[in-house]
Structures are given as structure tokens and as C-alpha cells.
Amino acid sequence: MPSTAPKTPEHVAIIMDGNGRWATQKGWPRLVGHRKGAERVKAIVRAAPDLGVRWLTIYAFSTENWKRSTEEVIGLMGLFARYIQREAEDMSREGVRMRFIGDRSRLDPKLQDLMHWIEDRTRNNTHVNLTVAINYGGRNELARAARKLARQAAEAGLDPDTIDEAALSNALDTQDIPDPDLVIRTSGETRVSNFLLWQAAYAEYEFTPVLWPDFTPEVFSEILSRYGARDRRFGGVGT
């Protein structure tokens, strides 16, 4: 049976790694690497639709990243807020729909307000979907989903026997987002790091030595070509 999977991934998820090393190699503070990383986000979001990618999910801050220095954490949070404010106009004009996944409750209320504001403002955009994972961890997301379903069972008459894979998917932060076809990690690390554990069950993985601040649309396009050569079988026998 010929593979019916499209040759371009509809949804690409990216673990943007290497900002710190990129800056350190140049003798600059780590935050300079994150700032350059934010510029790369914009370039990749802009390039994605022309490369056939309509959904992008990026790992911006994990549930483990709170262990970094206060200076770096505050710097990153400021960068997220500024990105939303600065890019709102361009994203509206260019048809970018922005969403967030992760546990928002620990984030600064002002950042939470900005996140809701941009989600609302870009709600009707359809050109490209950008989902940013902030205070996100796959295990944390699954635990929150389990709590949500348990509460519905205890308080709202949900029958535990009806909790199947679809019900769990619907309780996740990604309920209105398709599963990723391809997960890319930059900087030569080959770990999953708690990213989209449930959703990436059948995803392909690509690892590149390129550090995130050097990740250009050309590098992205090259990785997408490699993906196009793969045969995805989803547990079947394939060609």
C-alpha cells in the first residue's frame, strides 16, 4: 500500500535549543542569545506557509526552566511580553493565529493578560498557526488533564468508562491543535525534554547541530526535504 502521508508536514514542533551557547561562544550574555532567538521565531513563522507548514509549535519555556538564574527567567518573561506587544500588528496583518500551551497560573498576571489579549486578537487568523509553549511540560499537562477529568467524574457525572484516548486528548492544552508530524530539536541535543509527550506519539524527529539563533528558513527548508523522503507507517506495514 503506498504511503498516503503528505510529503510536507502540516504541523512542525520545535525545541529551540542553543541560545545560551550561541551567546557564550561570542562572549555575550545568554539573554542576547534569547533575543536573537526571538528574531528567528519571527523569520521561521514568516517562512513556514511558503514551505507548506501551517502549524508551528515552539518550546519557549519549560516547567524545568524556573531553575535558571532569576535574571535569565525575568529576561525571558520580558522577552515573551515584548514579542506579543511588538509583533501584534504584523501578526494581525500577516494572518498569524497565536496560541499558548502550558500552565499559565504561575506566570505574572500581566503576561497572562497579554497572552489572552493576543489569542483573542488573532482568533480569526488562518494563514499560519503559532503555538508557544510557556511553563509547559508534557507530564504536567497530562497531570492537569487527569485532574480535570477526575473533577468532572466527581462533580459533573462523567462516567469513568467513557474516558478514552479522544477524551484525554480533549482535556489537554492542545485540544484544538493537530498532533505534530515532525519535531525538530536544534543544537545537537537528542532529548525529548518533556515536550508534547502525548501528541508526538507518531511524530518523526529531526535533530540538527545548528544552534537556534542560526536556524534560518534555509536550514528549516533542508530539514523539511529530509522529512519528505521518509515513509511514515503509523504502525502499519508501508510501501
Q: By C-beta, is 111 or 149 nearer to ligand FPP?
A: 111
Q: By C-beta, is 82 or 233 nearer to ligand FPP?
A: 82
User: Which residue, among 78, 56, 60, 44, has the nearest Cα to 9 in the 3D structure?
Assistant: 56
Pick the catalytic residue from 50, 65, 120, 164. Answer: 65
- Catalytic residue list contains 194: no
The CB-of-204 to ligand FPP minimum distance in angstroms stands at 21
Q: By C-beta, is 57 or 199 nearer to ligand FPP?
A: 57
The CB-of-165 to ligand FPP minimum distance in angstroms stands at 30
Give the nearest residue (CB) to ligand FPP. 20
As to burial, measured by CB atoms within 10 angstroms (0-12 exposed, 13-18 middle, 19+ buried), residue 160 is exposed
The CB-of-85 to ligand FPP minimum distance in angstroms stands at 11
CB burial string 197-224: b at 16+ within 10 A, e below: ebbbeebbebbbebbbbbbeeebbeebb
Q: By C-beta, is 43 or 201 nearer to ligand FPP?
A: 43
DSSP letters along 117-144, please?
HHHHHTTT--SEEEEEEEEE-HHHHHHH
Contacting positions for ligand FPP (CB under 6 A)? 16-21, 34, 37-38, 41, 60, 65, 76, 79-80, 83, 132, 187, 212
Q: Which three cell numbers stand for residue 60?
A: 519557549
- Catalytic residue list contains 135: no
The answer to whether the beta carbons of residues 59 and 76 sit under 8 Å apart is no
Distances (CA, A) of 238 to 11, 21, 119, 229: 21, 40, 39, 14
Q: Which three cell numbers stand for residue 174?
A: 492542545
Active site amino acids: 17, 65
